[in-house]
Each structure stands twice: as C-alpha cells, then as structure tokens.
Structure 1
C-alpha cells in the first residue's frame, strides 16, 4: 500500500466531476487524487506550490554554503569595511 501524503483524498471519478469544488473544499491543504486506491497525483494551490519551491531553493542554498565553508584553501580574506 502506498503512503498518502495528504489529509484529504478523493477518487479520480469524484475529482473529474468537479475539480474546482474539490480545491475549494480542501482550502489550502493538498489533495491526493486516487486511482484504484493509490495516489495518482496531488493537487495543491499555487500558494502551497510557491512555498514548496522556495523551501527547495533554500535547501539548495544551505548545501551550497556548507560546501563553500569547507573550501578554506581557496578562501579570500576581505575587510567588511571595504565592501
């Protein structure tokens, strides 16, 4: 059985009847749309999608900063007052 990563789920048949109503009913929460009781896809609002994209970008930046902190041999010392 697949894990469902949403509090709200609906069958594909119900979703096809009125997708806009499903989105309204869910509010800002993700909706798992099921096909044969397995997640086929997740429907999320643009606001939630934007938050997910920003979180992923932030994680990428953290990883880049960690990598650069280990590169002390190529570091250049600067005076903050000169910037």
Structure 2
C-alpha cells in the first residue's frame, strides 16, 4: 500500500529513539516524517515551525472574522472616547 509522505526528511521510530535531537536537526527546521514499519506514523517538527504554524492558523481565523464583518456598519469614535 502506498502512503503519501508530506516531508522531505524521514526517519524510523528506532532512529528517533536513539537520538531525538539529531533526528530533528536532520530536518533542517522542516518537519520530519517518522515511519513505523515503513508507514508514516506522525510528523516531528521543531518548536519554531510549530509556533509559525499556529500563528498562520490564528491569522486565518482572524481573516475569516474580518470577512464576516465586512458588511457591518462602522462606528466612528475618537481616541478620547476610548
């Protein structure tokens, strides 16, 4: 059975257990596909990549809210009123 691997770097669970940080470094800041019996089991990503992903998801949610509010009337206020 063929499996789509969504990473340029792959490692086995055994490799990950032997040296987790070396496995992450091999990904050079990108996700590493962790294989179990030659099938992708999960993806291991560095903390910085995870933070960037969460920020992008938050931006998408905020953009959706902004789009929903585009047709609503505006309310003018001055800085003193805030």
TM-score by length of 1: 0.81
The alignment status of 1:32 with 2:33, answered yes or no, reads yes
User: For this pair of structures, how many residues does the alignment match?
Assistant: 78
4+ long deviations beyond 3 Å: none
Unmatched tracts of structure 1, length 5 or more: none
- For residues 43-58 of structure 1, the aligned pairs below 5 Å read 43-58=44-59
Give the aligned partner of residue 10 of structure 2. Answer: 9
Unmatched tracts of structure 2, length 5 or more: none
TM-score by length of 2: 0.82
| Structure 1 residue 22 displacement after superposition | 0.9
Cα RMSD for the two superposed structures: 1.5
